[in-house]
Amino acid sequence: MPRDWDDVYTDPRHDAASEWEASDRFHAEARRHLRAPVVNHRWAVDGFPPTRKVPLRFDLPTAAGAFADAFVTPGRSPRISLLFAASSGHASRAPALRFWRTLIGALLAEFPGAEIVLLWALRGRRTTTPGVTAADIAGLQQDFPEVRNAYDVGLLNQLADEDEAAPANPAVDNG
């Protein structure tokens, strides 16, 4: 990671100890390593432009809401989404399929009647899930009927929720 930056802003909550010692050590090391003319200290930021906090809002197209209505089981609760994404971009650094199988089993034991939705992509123009195949996902669905395969349905469809009313936006390509 480069040492010198124009600006460095880190989450001020990391100044206090958390439950995760490894995370605390990472943030402390990052603070020592990174250099910049403008760095935040707690919530105070001298030199950054003023910000105005506004709620994040994203209106999904009507087509995405319709997809969600047909894809998930209406009213099913809880619905748990799992993102099988490797931040490293390499399969050797991603959790093994054995981990996901164990996690899904534990979630379903803890939350009987839950619906598990698997998110991400096997194919695409940008980011995909390394080390996971269509056969792997089919095997999870066979072993766990509560698993829904939302791989490769498009990002907007993955974001849609059948409980939310979709606004009247035109359908868009969300591949």
Taking only the tens place, the pLDDT of each residue in 85-130 is 655 556 666 778 898 999 999 999 999 999 999 988 887 666 666 6
Question: Can you tell me the distance from the alpha carbon of 106 to that of 141, in angstroms, rounded to the nearest whole number?
Answer: 15
- Measured between alpha carbons, how far is 158 from 162 in angstroms, rounded to an integer? 11
pLDDT of residue 5: 87
pLDDT on residue 173: 44
Taking a C-beta distance cutoff of 8 angstroms, is the pair 156, 172 a contact?
yes
Does the pTM surpass 0.85? The reply is no
H or E, element range at 65: helix 62-71
**pLDDT classification of 174: cutoffs 50, 70, 90:** very low
pLDDT of residue 171: 44
Res. 145: pLDDT tops 90: yes
Mean of pLDDT values over 59-84: 88
Burial class (CB in 10 A: 0-12, 13-18, 19+), 143: exposed
Average confidence score pLDDT of the chain: 80
Q: Does residue 131 or residue 79 have the better pLDDT?
A: 79
Segments making up each domain of the chain, as ranges? 1-53, 62-159
The answer on pLDDT for 35 being more than 80 is yes
Cβ 62 vs Cβ 169: under 8 Å: yes
Q: What is the pLDDT of residue 90?
A: 60
pLDDT at 58: 79
